Chain A
Amino acid sequence: MVLLAPYAMAQSPPPFPAESYSGPNTAQGGQSSPEMWRDIRRGKSGTVVFPRPEGGVLIQSAGETWRLRHDTTVAYGGGLLLAVLGVAGSYLLVRGRIPIKGGRTGRVIPRFSLVQRIVHWFAAVLFVLLAVTGLLLLFGRYLLPPIIGQHAFALAASASIEAHNLFGPLFIPAVVALCVTFVRGNGYRGVDFTWLLKGGGFFGGHASSLKYNFGEKSWFWWSVVMGLVLSASGMALLLPSVIGDRSVVQLANLAHAIAALLFIAFAIGHIYLGTIGMEGALEGMTRGTVDENWAKEHHDLWWAEHKTSATADIRRAEVAAAERGDRAVWEAQR
């Protein structure tokens, strides 16, 4: 219970007829003090019996601003996700799945090592769990009660917050491992901007690329930055008592929601292209190898470096990929 000594209110005001009431019946003698309430509204701190951070603040007005910004974030964020889904769906309808134009050769090239794939899927599993529970917490209260009812939504929200808080801290080492494991080859080069100017070949023509193209590199750096913002803001939300200052926690809440929405929006594109959007892409991350024609069509400069390691012995290539990824070629070149 907050006790504001200068503004202490009477515990039990005496009864009075409503028509004779002219202001709050307080220790100030029944007079309302605009100055006092203005100070309180501005967050002026009083004195409390048990001191603690912000314990003397009666009204934290920044909460209203935070609520407004939070609602705005929800509205724009929802629009962003719908727009990205719409673009991906429209592209699929118009262009269909991007095939391997030259067909499969039956020869594969090692692309991702076992360590890279384990780190990727560990982060991916956590990302999906966190995204689903996070979206439910962010949008659920607006969308779900009319469909599943208040009780079922309360149950889903309770489950989601527990899962989100549990899996969240695991995402921090996953992001760090992702950064360390994939940073090599993800620095921007001149060829990446040529790729960008050609629209990545998505609208016709061919755009040359190294192991990672401009989009993949941007996704990598986007994941690292958003992952770090989510990690820092998430820990602030998980341990608010450690932070102490409520305005920092409110800022962390907004940063967490915005970073998550931006992360998920990009991830939709990544997941789309990695699965239904492009033939031959997913196996690079499941089996560690890609078809030679896929490599030639999407990463021709990387293929030129690695074409000598192409083999029709798929199982042997998978084992080689698991042990070394495509490092063997780089090391031989050095």
Chain B
Amino acid sequence: MINVILITFLMTLFYVAIANRLLTYVKVLAFQGVLLFAVVFIQLSEINTINLILILMETIFFKSIAVPLFLAYILKRNKITREAEPYLPHFMSLIIVTMICVISILLVNNVKDNELDKIFFVVALSALFTGLYFIISRRKIITHVMGYLIIENGVFVLSLALGSEMTMLVNIGIMLDIFVSVLVLGIFTNRIGDTFEAMSVENLSNLKD
């Protein structure tokens, strides 16, 4: 079951690679939040209430509801055109994301560790690098924030893969940090939208030597 969910997660990355409208990106991000919740819920060996509430907050409330709504609000407020405007054609994007997946699979196969859950690792690394690729290859500033969120999702899967045990305090801190940084990034996106006519990264190239 977990494998099915993780592979669905991987497929969403391909879907984003060829998606044309920004609203599709937002919807995919929301869907990824639901998938992550499902993975955690199945993997959880013992359910205690506080843990469950924390995970619910982190995945469903934060990743699937709050952030997508906020992103949709930014899109609407700044009257951002609906297309993602990548530098490369969709077909190339699809090939590059596929290459990232293949490389992750090859890389993970080289790890000599029997306890490692390899499929988690492949999905996490793919999401990490796909997120970076989206940041590099899209022209709009808002898509940079979306790329950052995909990276965050990748890191989330990674921390599940390695089953790291963080204390409650750190967990809450991480959640707050990501939430606030998305909020701050959103506020500055709004400012950039007010200051410049088009929200394109070309406006942000004045600081150089």
Q: Do A and B associate with each other?
A: no
Chain A residues with CB under 8 Å of chain B are none
